[in-house]
Structure 1
Amino acid sequence: MDSSVHISVQNYDFDLAQEQANLLAQNKNIGAAVAFTGLCRDESGRLDALELEHYPGMAEAQIEKMALTAKERFSLDAVRIIHRFGMIKPGENIVLVLTASRHRNAAFEAASFLMDYMKTNAPFWKKEHLKSGVTGDWVSSRASDDQAQKRWEEE
């Protein structure tokens, strides 16, 4: 694995400040770092938790492959992606994408590129657990997420 790329799929929370400090400690020539944190919504008060499942090993490998693609495509100095699994309550962190480069545009574009991939192609499955006690259906991807991801194929 490229030492400037860190991928973690874990069932425990992460600390944004600590993760950014870890990323920036790798390289003192970084001029921009962009952080995106995805949180669990309560879906207008009806959601008790979101259950996330994945295939261990495969998820990390696929995310790493995309992170390496982003690193090359956007000339990144470092990438750090953390995605949680298990039962996640509203307000809790789900995913963190950190990108670092010499220039801000590359870091912003790479973070957007990676999140569009994470929303559409990363091997995670989500099931809603409702406050009513009912276990909801598996959550399908949204057409808007698919559209966002397609723009990267056109560039």
Structure 2
Amino acid sequence: LQRQIDIFPLLQEESYLRAYPEERKSRAFLEFCREGDHKAIAELLKTCHPDSGDYDEEDPKSANEILRYQDPIGDMQSGLHAAAANGHREVAWLILLLASELPELHFPALVFQEAAALGLMRAEQDGKVDIRSLRDAQGRTAEDVAEEAGVVWNGWIGNGRLAL
């Protein structure tokens, strides 16, 4: 038994998922971003391919749709916002690699190595929304959220990594 726990957010999410079961993968993606679980994100994204053994015809969202998902019950934050708010650089690098037009020269070599080890590759981003351009319901970019979060994002603010 946990005392003083606010169960409203849990009930709200459960109610939302009952109404929109096709949002389950997208909601899981955001939770993994909040938790900093880049390996779970990679596994989830791989299930979006129709040739995957884990492909879910009930939730046929593409990896691109999931990467750019904005939380309608969570202030319209994206996965990059969630990573920034919770200080998860590994997740931010992964999302930037897969959903932005940030030039490859701006990524540490380790990011490419880890993505390859996870079975992910950067796809062409032409014509796709750059994740750095997304704003939450308060008009904030992921960079604004990171700036509010503080110290962990030193070196990331003002250089175009988290905002356009």
Aligning the two structures, in what range does the TM-score lie when normalised by the shorter sequence? 0.3 to 0.5
Task: Return the TM-score normalized by structure 2.
Answer: 0.33
Task: Return the TM-score normalized by structure 1.
Answer: 0.34
Identify which of structures 1 and 2 has the higher relative contact order when contacts are C-alpha pairs closer than 8 Å and 6+ apart. Answer: 1
